[in-house]
């Protein structure tokens, strides 16, 4: 399983594992969205600590979950982004969404 979900009272923590590409993104999306729709959390955390590769499918994954959490009236936080993945996120202008947790580890 490429994602480890922790369901807490008011938040869902999704620890992503492995290489995020178009192939894996579908399964990640379905798993995470299923949990969010069931739990209706006020916070969704996407933890990228276990991600070893990401192309623009990862950007689509983040933007799609950002919209989902907006619809659900909650927030999205992206944490523990490994340095090699930051390039693609910066290129996509993800800073503007203000979802990146820059105070996290593994900077």
List b or e across 23-32, with b for residues whose CB sees 16 or more CB atoms inside 10 angstroms: ebbeebbebb
| 92 is an interface residue for another protein by CB under 8 A | yes
52 to 71, contacts with another protein by CB under 8 A?
53-57, 59-61, 63-64, 67
Please give the size of the binding site for another protein, defined by CB under 8 A.
23
Judged by CB under 8 A, the residue of 91, 95, 106, 107 near another protein is 91
For helices 56-71 and 83-91, give the axis angle rounded to 10 degrees. Answer: 70
How many Cβ atoms are within 10 Å of 82's Cβ, its own excluded? Answer: 15
Residues at the contact surface with another protein, assessed by CB under 8 A:
19, 21-23, 25-26, 29, 53-57, 59-61, 63-64, 67, 84, 87-88, 91-92
């Amino acid at each position: 399983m490429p994602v480890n979900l922790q369901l807490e009272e008011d938040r869902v923590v999704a620890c992503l594992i492995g290489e995020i590409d178009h192939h894996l993104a579908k399964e990640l999306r379905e798993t995470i969205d299923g949990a969010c729709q069931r739990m209706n959390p006020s916070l969704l955390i996407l933890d990228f600590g276990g991600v070893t590769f990401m192309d623009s499918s990862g950007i689509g994954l983040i933007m799609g979950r950002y919209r989902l959490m907006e619809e659900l009236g909650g927030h999205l936080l992206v944490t523990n982004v490994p340095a090699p993945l930051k390039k693609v996120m910066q290129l996509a202008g993800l800073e503007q969404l203000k979802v990146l947790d820059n105070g996290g580890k593994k900077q």
